[in-house]
Amino acid sequence: MKITAAVTEHEAAPFELQELELGALQPGEVLVEIAASGICHTDLIIRDQWLPVPLPAVLGHEGAGTVAAVGSAVTRFSPGDRVGITFNSCGVCPTCLRGRSTYCHDFFGRNFAAARPDGTSALSRDGELVHAHFFGQSSFATHSVATERNVVKRPDFVELDVAAPFGCGIQTGAGAVLNVMRPQAGSSLAVFGTGAVGLSAVMAGVIAGCTTIVGVDIRAARLELARELGATHVVDATETDVGEEVRRITGGGANFSLETSGETSALRTAVDCLAPTGECGVIGAPPSGAEVALDVNNILVSGRVVRGIVEGDSVPELFLPQLLELWQLGRFPVDRMMTYYDFDQINEAAHDAETGTTIKPVLRIGA
């Protein structure tokens, strides 16, 4: 069948809406007619080749829509189901079998290879392969081929254009707090970067009962929204020594910190601003090969922890419904950071995300 998709032709190229051919489903695949897709920072750094994803490709990994067809082996979904799409995993490696699919042994292959595990693609153009299956979906398209493992049903109470970004950025920030750090009530949390992931973490900190939540950024509008969404303090990184200010605010250091911007200098500060036995979560993705220098004794002597966090340690079938219920109750108002664009405005949306004009762009693609 013919579909329309936003193709990334080469490094740093603009997205181009093109007509592509979509082939037959494999047994475990689910065809989703996409209603909406969030644009994530990861889509933009892949477009710019910070990580080696093959091009030309169709990106997008925060899709939501309606099931149009299912493969012969699919049992959990039927045409007409309202669904969101999240990250992909193999389901059979040791970490997947322990319920830790965000650390799947084949996470890179299933999410960044832009092809099925057998090397094929569901998409083609004039008989030539176009890379797809990015994060098991490639949702910058009118139709997306996902797998039974990375599709989650969406309740009727949430519109699909609100639900779409929950599949990556929102669950990443919220899950880092609620699933990984699990702060006790009264804890302090410093969030470096108040984009979509960071603001999700701020709101999760409120839900967890953190009484000191510090948002750090370089954009005044984002810091103001962070305050409105629950940050008790905000720090403009262009105006002060951030580490010193966080330590002052928290009375000696934060119990928890999250680095969401991908800036290695911010990661060093996020570690150094911790209290003894504090924990720093690394979420932001810098270019491939980026390194950071840390004071080993600062970590060793005070028992500080530095750990990577992927997709918020989420089990999507369990965690995403919980987040959506919190949104329904008004306790997790992530829609306040969303701005909507028509599909043919994808390059405008990407530009607005990169300049900071928009925090979470969401493309309205279909009905």
Instruction: Tell me, yes or no, whether 305 and 243 share the same domain.
Output: yes
- Please indicate, yes or no, if residue 324 is contained in any of the structural domains: no
Question: pLDDT for 297-345, tens place per residue?
Answer: 999 999 999 999 999 999 999 999 999 999 999 999 999 999 999 999 9
For residues 310 and 112, the answer to whether their CB atoms sit within 8 Å is: no
What local confidence, expressed as pLDDT, does residue 231 receive? Answer: 98
Percent of the chain with pLDDT over 90: 98
What local confidence, expressed as pLDDT, does residue 288 receive? Answer: 85
Element (H, E) at 250: helix 242-250
* Cβ contacts of 20 within 8 Å, gap of 6 or more: 2, 3, 4, 5, 7, 58, 123, 124, 125, 130, 141
- Please indicate, yes or no, if residue 143 is contained in any of the structural domains: yes
Name the band, by pLDDT with cuts 50, 70 and 90, for residue 261. very high
Strand, coil or helix: what is 308?
strand
Instruction: Tell me, yes or no, whether 191 and 277 share the same domain.
Output: yes
Pairing mode of beta strands 29-38, 63-70: antiparallel
Q: What is the value of pTM for the model shown?
A: 0.96
Using alpha carbons, list the distances in angstroms from residue 172 to 43, 69, 156, 209: 15, 29, 23, 19
Side-chain half-sphere CA neighbours of 29 within 13 A: 19
Nearest to 40 by CA among 363, 367, 334, 366: 363
Question: pLDDT for 3-25, tens place per residue?
Answer: 999 999 999 999 999 999 999 99
Token representation of residue 238: 């262009």
262 pLDDT more than 80: yes
* Calpha distance 105→91 (Å, rounded): 10
Instruction: Tell me, yes or no, whether 145 and 206 share the same domain.
Output: no
- Please indicate, yes or no, if residue 244 is contained in any of the structural domains: yes
Q: Which residues constitute the domain of residue 201?
A: 170-311
Instruction: Tell me, yes or no, whether 24 and 159 share the same domain.
Output: yes
* Calpha distance 138→39 (Å, rounded): 11
Classify residue 131 by its DSSP letter.
B
Question: What are 57's strand-pairing partners?
Answer: 8, 131
Q: Give me the chain's average pLDDT, please.
A: 97
Name the band, by pLDDT with cuts 50, 70 and 90, for residue 161. very high
- Please indicate, yes or no, if residue 284 is contained in any of the structural domains: yes
Instruction: Tell me, yes or no, whether 106 and 235 share the same domain.
Output: no
Region 152-157: what's the mean pLDDT? 96
- Please indicate, yes or no, if residue 252 is contained in any of the structural domains: yes
Instruction: Tell me, yes or no, whether 190 and 213 share the same domain.
Output: yes
What local confidence, expressed as pLDDT, does residue 301 receive? Answer: 95
Strand, coil or helix: what is 198?
helix
Question: pLDDT for 277-294, tens place per residue?
Answer: 999 999 999 988 999 999
Question: Virtual CA dihedral for 3, 5, 10, 12, nearest 10 degrees?
Answer: 170
How deeply is 49 buried, as exposed, middle or buried, from its count of CB atoms within 10 A (0-12, 13-18, 19+)?
middle
Instruction: Tell me, yes or no, whether 151 and 273 share the same domain.
Output: no
Instruction: Tell me, yes or no, whether 208 and 307 share the same domain.
Output: yes
- Please indicate, yes or no, if residue 323 is contained in any of the structural domains: no
What local confidence, expressed as pLDDT, does residue 169 receive? Answer: 96
Name the band, by pLDDT with cuts 50, 70 and 90, for residue 227. very high
What local confidence, expressed as pLDDT, does residue 229 receive? Answer: 98
* Calpha distance 300→47 (Å, rounded): 38
Instruction: Tell me, yes or no, whether 160 and 174 share the same domain.
Output: no
- Please indicate, yes or no, if residue 261 is contained in any of the structural domains: yes
What local confidence, expressed as pLDDT, does residue 41 receive? Answer: 92
* Calpha distance 137→44 (Å, rounded): 16
- Please indicate, yes or no, if residue 327 is contained in any of the structural domains: no
Q: How many domains does the chain have?
A: 2
Region 166-193: what's the mean pLDDT? 98
Question: pLDDT for 93-119, tens place per residue?
Answer: 999 999 999 999 999 999 999 999 999
Instruction: Tell me, yes or no, whether 208 and 295 share the same domain.
Output: yes
Instruction: Tell me, yes or no, whether 199 and 250 share the same domain.
Output: yes
Region 42-56: what's the mean pLDDT? 95
Instruction: Tell me, yes or no, whether 186 and 295 share the same domain.
Output: yes
Residue 130's CATH number: 3.90.180.10
Residue 295's CATH number: 3.40.50.720
